[in-house]
Homo-oligomer: A and B are copies of this chain.
Amino acid sequence: MKKKEHKECMSALLPVRDTLDVIGGKWKLLILISIWEGNKHFREIERSIPKLSTKVLSKELKDLEENQLITRTVLNGFPVRTEYMPTEHSKTLEKVIFELHNWGIHHRKKIFGNKSFSNNSVSA
């Protein structure tokens, strides 16, 4: 039955959607990588990523924390400092990112062939 198969595929897609919700968007991975690299503080992270505004960073950090990919610790003292750290759970993303990376390379070859390219966008 085709209908049934379709429904099954759709529901099999839910976990895929979850993953894309967690790491998709413009900034999530950039921020996570910045923190992986050792950037711990709000301004530090902000400065490490061009074009990223405080409002967006604030929201994205909350999302990452909700998804237990980073921890947020408020340090004592004045002025207030916070410390963002990657979680162990975040490390499990590496395999996914690796596959996304591989396919991205493969896809570029397919789309652009031997041509060189200079910009970032596939659809340019």
- Interface, chain A (partner B; CB < 8 A): 2, 5-6, 9-10, 12-24, 29-30, 33-34, 36-38, 48, 63, 66-68, 89, 92-93, 95-97, 99-108, 110-111, 120-123
* Copies per complex of this chain: 2
The complex places the Cα of A23 from the Cα of B20 at a distance, in Å, of 9
Residues from chain B with Cβ under 8 Å of A6 in the complex: 34, 37, 48
The complex places the Cα of A107 from the Cα of B64 at a distance, in Å, of 12
CB contact between A30 and one of B2, B10, B99, B104 (< 8 Å): that residue: B10
The complex places the Cα of A67 from the Cα of B103 at a distance, in Å, of 13
The complex places the Cα of A123 from the Cα of B22 at a distance, in Å, of 9
Can you name 10 extra interface pairs (CB under 8 A) apart from A15-B108, A92-B103?
Answer: A15-B100, A18-B108, A20-B20, A21-B121, A24-B24, A63-B123, A67-B107, A67-B123, A89-B110, A96-B99
